[in-house]
Structure 1
Amino acid sequence: MLLVPVPKELRIFNEKFYYLNESHIIINNSNKEEMFFIAKQIQGIINEELKKHIPILIEKRKTRSTGIIFIQKESLNCEEYILIINPNSIEIIYSKPAGAFYGVMTLKQIISQYGGVLPCLIIQDSPDYQVRGIMLDISRNKIPAMKELFRLIDFMAELKLNQLQLYVEGFSFAYPSFPEVWKDRTPITRQEIMEIDEYCKARHIELVSNHNSFGHMTDWLKRKEFNHLAECPDGYTNSIDNVHRDPGTLNPIDDNSLKLIGRMYDDFLPYFTSSWINVGCDETYELGRGFSKEACEEKGRGKVYLEFLLKLNELVHKHGKRMMFWGDIINEYPELIDQLPKDIITLEWGYEEEHPFDIRCKQFQKSGIPYYVCPGTSSWESISGRTNNMKKNLYNAAISGKENDAIGYLNTDWGGNGHWQYPCVSYPGFVYGAALSWDVEKNENIDIADYLNLMVFKDENNIMGQFILDLGNYYLKETKKMFNGTYISKILVTDIEINKFLNVSADIKDMKVEDIESIEKYVEQLARQLDKANMTCENSNLVYSEFKNTIRFIRHGCKLGKLKLAMDQKKIENKEKLLNEMIDEIGVIIVEHQVLWIRRNRIGGLNDSLDQLLKLKDYYYSLL
């Protein structure tokens, strides 16, 4: 029996339960509206899988011995459930509706595998982490259409996740106070936020507002009317890669910076029912290098950062909310952690397999500040993911957080440099993170591929799950390990003229031709596996097309890598023929990317996603 997450206790017996046409779904009068919605979920599953309609009835007490019976038991924890399949009945025992909902999600997986003849069993189950969530980046070009967001929420619900954050920076929200900044885009609207919130709540998921409020303000600060609020209005040179960048951090000593954030909050926060907001405040690279330099020299950079954070906390309180924030900057000043208010949540993030979650978690546990661990899916800047890194990163976060009293587990999924990865690339990370946050010991070795085949892609040939995991491991054949991405992905976003990767202190000479050819061979073998899949899910043709283009991206990155190495060595054979092939190939990638983007996402942001690919195409023409 495949159950994800694996329940804490499971006993299976030799007897069977057989569905009877005269069966009923029985709920009681308590929490009638919520319980009716939950009962309709199992009614829909039975109708879809077994082509049978079973009516829902309300009874105040257990008066029937057959059918599917919901039984409330106050002694259970709020998300705990007991699922009992007897020869004549199915009982779902719960304290709060969330527990009943999770019992139904487990029953759905059992019915998907066994149909109408179910093994008799007892499951008693509850989660390790109080909060189990996903943060989805909707600000790096790609804002999903509403139907895609609802699809993701349903996917989360089946995995018993209970928090969703949609990451907002720049102009991915339709601010009524600033219509000029988003007029040429297709942002999330105020009504849509309320619709997403409502959809989440019905599935026991909390939609938490997420709005960066200090760093990552580049889109705003590049504009003439806001540029004066930047710490460094003319931009700054990043010490990591020596590349000059646009301004990205607010000036914390100018009261008008706080007033700008306040206007954004006035527009944004009323549409969320959650009492929490993630204010971001990560990667404030310029802090102390511009207008706040003197203050930082006098008080210390960490103190200036903390003072602005505390002002944001006051602003959040005025809206009746509580604050959570990314912990990377405050971690640089551990002596200041004790000065944080005890009613906030710190978000400890790190995306590499060796990130020191154990050290950081001990630090936050000692301080008494509530915190989440925030690993990631490793999907971004990789085209097809980094499977092994993802699994180790997610597991280390889960085990360190559990051992050191973290209250939440937030699995992050970022974009960046075009947001070229398609949604299903993130699914293995979503599945594994959800399972680990439910019970890390029981779920360390779950079969991610089987779950994807059975519950997501409905692949009758059991190909897709393992295909995605394997495709996400092409990076293991690269010459060197790349931080936060893969070489093949970064090759496609290099500074063309100087052969240098953006965002990293590495260049093309770190690659070897034989390793690139090894990647090509590996991906060719996987392409043949993709053709053997037999998906029967609703959007199977779309998923197939997305992975065909994913493979095109990787192949083209390999070809470009070999071209650039040959250019360095001034040994290009059949240059004209090669460049014409590359022009044709990237033309296909661009057209397919446009078509696939529109199938799932809003049109706004597509041009930004295509920008680097179009530059590459122009570059090939220039070489001709």
Structure 2
Amino acid sequence: MKKAILLDISRYRVPIVSRMKDMITNLASYGFNEIFFNIENSLEIKSFPFIGSEMDSYTQDEMRDIIDHAKGFGVEIVPIYQSCGHMFHSLKWDSLSYLSESESLWSVAPNIDSLDFFDKVYSEIATIFDSEYIHVGGDEVYDFMEGRSKDLYPNRDKYEVYLEYILKLRDILKSYGKKLMIWGDIIQNRPELIKRLPKDVIVLYWMYDFDEIPKVYSEIEGRFYISPGLQTWKSEFFRFSYMKKNLKLKSLECKTNNPMGFLLTDWGDGGHIHSPVVTEFLAKYALEYFMGNRINLSPKLKEIISLLDSIHNPDFMNSSLLLDKDEFLTRLLYFEYPISGEGYSTQSIGQLNRFLDISDSLENLDLSDFEEELRNYFTLVISRTEVIRAKIKIHLKFRQGERITDLYIADLIRVSRLSHLNLTKEWLSSSKPMGLFYHNHFHNELEKGISEDFKFYKEGKIKPRFFYDREGCYNLFSVGNRDALHALWERFV
């Protein structure tokens, strides 16, 4: 059985080559024999050199060096190059926006122009990766057939068009001696279509919650993987207890459905705040757990994980504001306005005080026994927790009618800058630097939000607001050319 892990190198964190090699060495020692690289804009494509220029993508020679290293440990590297949805980091460039299905720049239109684009991309990827497979993504195509394709395919079923498009991608890959892999979340909606896939196509079923695997997978003769999640994305601290529940269900499904392998996914949505050492720790733990082996954590490690898990995944707080939002609760609270923010105003005073009580013990944690990289990660999480604590204290003063002075705001900005400094130090020790522009942007927005909130408070103009509704919050994504993005980076430096 294939024992695989997905490393997301497309959400701004691109590990430096030496750290990536170390990670591959460690993952191989745990028992992994396949590593999937999720590549949206993190690999040099010479036909389109601007793709990935904003985040220090790997050069083709660097990737070949990494692949050669992996081969020495018996590990196969499989590329995931999104070829339908998740295409924003290509479509955001002015010269490629014509490929988009809609103004959201999320999916490509399933037409000859898109196929020509991927033909050029695949022609380069096929010469870099030794794997017989290229994973074309194909998941979460929210706007598929919702824009220009409506006129291209009038009165056509969108799932039929989707299947035809995927099969055309397969033909392109076949011309370069490669086979196709695809996520299953779209095509599994029509079981009769998934059965029509050629036998050389591999489908990867993913589910990071607790829904059971659709019956159709048991009918395609093992040509699929089961893919649980390490629960790191869009959060301040990984969701450890939740991960174990997801792994338990998916490991049982592996035993009863006989897939060709499983793929543990370490997604980095939200800027991939978690360092490579976290990926290694969770991968080792999850693999053993998935294989039914007992894991004994040291008492100190168990203590800190349990504490941070309870703080950052609190079941006692109101999460109603998270409906249709991208972040998990404490990530939202980290950026939220401290005085007027709805993330705080929708919590009761009792809930906020309970958060403070539980997180009080962070001050007394002894991290000296942990190796440096893991110690730096825990220090980062604790410092980001301190930002939330400082905001809660200010918000409680406001709710209780106490006066908020400049000193409270100055201290909050000091704490937030210390937190950002910890992130910067950790990041530069393991990853290429330009991905930090994402976090620099949001840190600047955080400070602006704090200052604006205090200004409105002093003027008596406080009303409920939500940080992610800020004009300019996502402006970094709207830059349409390479020079503008580099100018943005230089300004942050």
Query: What is the match of residue 581 of structure 1?
Result: 411
1:181-580 map, 5 Å: 181-232=51-102, 234-235=103-104, 247-252=105-110, 254-294=111-151, 298-352=155-209, 354=210, 356=211, 358-360=212-214, 362-368=215-221, 370-437=223-290, 439-440=291-292, 443=293, 445-447=294-296, 449-450=297-298, 463-474=300-311, 475-480=313-318, 486-493=328-335, 510-531=346-367, 533-535=368-370, 540-560=371-391, 571=401, 573-580=403-410
The question of whether the paired residues in 2 share the 8 Å contact of 1:217 and 1:249 is answered with yes
Cα distance in 2 for residues equivalent to 1:224 and 1:265: 21
Instruction: Please tell me whether residue 616 in structure 1 is matched to residue 446 in structure 2.
Output: yes
Query: What is the match of residue 606 of structure 1?
Result: 436
The question of whether the paired residues in 2 share the 8 Å contact of 1:417 and 1:609 is answered with no
Shift in Å, 1:388: 0.6
Cα distance in 2 for residues equivalent to 1:423 and 1:472: 19
Query: What is the match of residue 464 of structure 2?
Result: none
Cα distance in 1 for residues equivalent to 2:327 and 2:305: 17
CA 1:572–1:372 in structure 2 vs 1: closer, same or farther (change >3 Å)? farther
SS of the residue 1:280 aligns to? coil
RMSD: 2.6
SS of the residue 2:15 aligns to? coil
- Residues 66-120 of structure 1 deviation map (CA, whole Å, 9 limit, x = unaligned): xxxxxxxxxxxxxxxxxxxxxxxxxxxxxxxxxxxxxxxxxxxxxxxxxxxxxxx
Compare relative contact order (CA 8 Å, sep 6+) and give the higher one, 1 or 2: 2
The question of whether the paired residues in 2 share the 8 Å contact of 1:194 and 1:272 is answered with yes
Cα distance in 1 for residues equivalent to 2:86 and 2:393: 34
Query: What is the match of residue 12 of structure 2?
Result: 141
The structure with the largest helix share of the pair is 2
Query: What is the match of residue 32 of structure 2?
Result: 161
Structure 2 counterpart of 1:179, one-letter code: P
Shift in Å, 1:463: 2.0
Shift in Å, 1:446: 2.5
Query: What is the match of residue 484 of structure 2?
Result: none
CA 1:495–1:518 in structure 2 vs 1: closer, same or farther (change >3 Å)? closer
CA 1:231–1:493 in structure 2 vs 1: closer, same or farther (change >3 Å)? farther
SS of the residue 2:13 aligns to? coil
SS of the residue 1:180 aligns to? coil
Cα distance in 1 for residues equivalent to 2:65 and 2:450: 46
1:89-108 map, 5 Å: none
- 5+ unaligned residues in a row in structure 2: which ranges? 456-493
Give the % identical residues. Answer: 25
Shift in Å, 1:272: 1.0
Structure 2 counterpart of 1:446, one-letter code: I
SS of the residue 1:472 aligns to? helix
- Residues 145-193 of structure 1 deviation map (CA, whole Å, 9 limit, x = unaligned): 1121122112212211111111100x21111112233445411111121
Shift in Å, 1:510: 4.6
Shift in Å, 1:621: 2.0
The question of whether the paired residues in 2 share the 8 Å contact of 1:135 and 1:165 is answered with yes
The question of whether the paired residues in 2 share the 8 Å contact of 1:372 and 1:406 is answered with yes
CA 1:369–1:407 in structure 2 vs 1: closer, same or farther (change >3 Å)? closer
The question of whether the paired residues in 1 share the 8 Å contact of 2:87 and 2:106 is answered with yes
Cα distance in 1 for residues equivalent to 2:449 and 2:155: 48
Shift in Å, 1:394: 1.4
Cα distance in 2 for residues equivalent to 1:527 and 1:209: 43
The question of whether the paired residues in 2 share the 8 Å contact of 1:231 and 1:287 is answered with yes
The question of whether the paired residues in 2 share the 8 Å contact of 1:213 and 1:280 is answered with yes
The question of whether the paired residues in 2 share the 8 Å contact of 1:520 and 1:555 is answered with no
The question of whether the paired residues in 2 share the 8 Å contact of 1:388 and 1:473 is answered with no
Shift in Å, 1:307: 1.2
Query: What is the match of residue 460 of structure 2?
Result: none
- Residues 449-492 of structure 1 deviation map (CA, whole Å, 9 limit, x = unaligned): 24xxxxxxxxxxx5235423442332134424668853011233
Structure 2 counterpart of 1:204, one-letter code: G
The question of whether the paired residues in 2 share the 8 Å contact of 1:173 and 1:189 is answered with yes
Cα distance in 1 for residues equivalent to 2:137 and 2:402: 47
SS of the residue 1:140 aligns to? coil
- Residues 510-549 of structure 1 deviation map (CA, whole Å, 9 limit, x = unaligned): 5334333333333332442334x423xxxx2343232112
Larger radius of gyration, structure 1 or 2?
A: 1
Cα distance in 1 for residues equivalent to 2:419 and 2:339: 22
The question of whether the paired residues in 1 share the 8 Å contact of 2:338 and 2:392 is answered with no
How many corresponding residue pairs? Answer: 449
The question of whether the paired residues in 1 share the 8 Å contact of 2:217 and 2:224 is answered with yes
The question of whether the paired residues in 2 share the 8 Å contact of 1:136 and 1:413 is answered with yes
